[in-house]
A and B are shown apart, each in its own frame.
With several copies, the nearest count.
Chain A
Amino acid sequence: MKKLINDPEAVVREELQGIEAAHGDLVRVSYDPYYIVRKDAPVQNKTAIISGGGSGHEPMHGGFVGVGMLDGACPGEVFTSPTPDQMAAATQAVSGGKGVLHIVKNYTGDVLNFEMAADMARADGIEVEAVVIDDDVAVKDSLYTAGRRGVGTTVLAEKITGAAAEAGASLSEVAELCRKVNANGRSMGMALTSCTVPAAGKPTFDLGEDEMEIGIGIHGEPGRERRKLASANEVAEMLAQPIVDDLPFRQGDRVLAFLNSMGGTPLIELYVVYQALDKYLRGRGLTIERNLIGPYITSLEMAGCSITLLRLDDELTRLWDAPVNTAGLRWGV
């Protein structure tokens, strides 16, 4: 395992120290339990939004705490859901009297822990709503299973709901908006390499020199299928087609195209994939009206990418364009 770390057990704590040192103008960090909140939290009379999940997906979620996006984030150990006490404490720390939205990615661990946390926060008299993001078309959706994973749409939901909350929306409005984003967003990812969880010390899976995994999540899980390495053009289509077919998107739809690096894939390759994605979507009659390209929801140092498409309307576009000032996303300020 080759990583710039000190002690596999200390990665998350030291990461938080780094975030605190670097972004003290934007956020405050709590170490017991672990959470990150806006510098000015709690903001009175504003619906607050927190999210959380295992670490290893940076900049998500801690990098999205700030004006116009999240009020707080709870980092778990690497790829491990945070615990209810963290979420409950963060909920308390951001609560400004208008309620708190929990944005939860659909993983058994995240859902169960956030459920417990919501119970705890409600017991403290804080109004809490939870919205579960489940946008990964690589996973078959079924009532009899855990359902789809929550992946790239989470980033977009955090930005868009954050803008609405900043503009004064109520908890139920923000929650409704979050469900709308989830309903209109779909994702799919792939990996060229595995990643190594620091505490495990070796790659989660092995991939041959000429193989790739299609349909991976963001935790180094193996994907739905292993395939022969394909070209960037083919990969773009393999990911985009099931997304477009799933929603279903319609001719003339405007979309936000979010092309994400899993961590180890550099920008030069993302742009090669983007030209293919752009062509493919044109061919399907879709217009990319906004885009986001880079490592935003990563899987440690995994090489690979994911595509998220969000169907836009005027409301979503306006909220996407609204100012945001976080370590990971910044514009308009």
Chain B
Amino acid sequence: MAITAEQTLAFIRDFGDVIATNKDFLTQLDSDIGDGDHGINMNRGMRAVLAKLDSTNPPDISAIYRTTAMTLISTVGGASGPLYGTLFLQLGTATQGKAEISAKEWSEALTAAVHAVEARGKATLEDKTMIDALEPAITALSEAVADGADLEAALARAESSAEQGMKATIPLVARRGRASYLGERSAGHQDPGATSSWLLMGAAHRAFGNGTS
């Protein structure tokens, strides 16, 4: 079985829910090394996304992603708005015209999306950004899919790689985003954007991993 539009909706909704649950946590992380608004920003955006999805009922997977992207872009602001916006916009482009998506297609779409985020934000691994969670996740995901793992197993590996990448941001000195202004003082703190990206991979795992292949 491949990923359906319904599962895609569940994925976005799940992401909205975990963002809401972790709003204060993300904001706290951002207070330590940023400006204390990442949870607030993402939650404002995802609430708007969920409302928009409810009111517009996008017809297919690509439309769901594009609606998510445009809503994030116009409601989040900050660094995370255009970056997550770019991610979802690219997912929308990669899934254009598809009623369902296979594990391989999902892995390729997500890879392209993360690369688009890298192109927009110019961050690379170990800059202490969301890339540190996303990049390991796509590597794990595509390797797992290449190894023939089922989607559940592949997504589990992606999620746990994202988690490792997120934790690996703790000792890093930030080179991108607001945390970079702190210089050495940014070390010893977990990056908020890497944390929300790990939550994103968790949402994908829960929504797509269940009995799909």
Contacts and interface: CB of A to CB of B under 8 A. Distances in A.
Q: So, do A and B actually touch in the complex, CB under 8 Å? A: yes
Contact of A200 (B36, B76, B121, B185): B36
B40 interface: yes
B120 interface: yes
Contact of B181 (A78, A83, A149, A205): A149
A221 B121 contact: no
Contact of A77 (B33, B44, B74): B44
Interface string A178-222: 000000000000000000010110001100000000000101111
Nearest to A224: B183
By size class, the interface of chain A is 35 or more
B121 to A, nearest CB: 7
A68 interface: no
Given A108-B176, A224-B182, A197 B40 contact: yes
A33 B73 CA distance: 13
A156 B40 CA distance: 31
Given A77-B44, A80-B41, A221-B34, A108 B178 contact: yes
Interface string A106-145: 0111001101100000000000000000001011100011
**Would you call the interface of chain A mostly helix, strand, loop, or mixed?**
loop
A33 B182 CA distance: 33
Contact of B175 (A79, A115, A145): A145
Contacts of B76: 80, 83
Interface in A1-54: 33, 54
Contacts of A222: 33, 182, 185
27 contacts: A76-B77, A77-B44, A77-B77, A78-B37, A81-B77, A81-B81, A84-B74, A107-B79, A108-B121, A109-B79, A109-B81, A113-B77, A113-B78, A113-B81, A138-B181, A139-B180, A145-B175, A146-B180, A197-B40, A200-B37, A200-B40, A217-B181, A220-B35, A221-B178, A221-B181, A222-B182, A224-B182
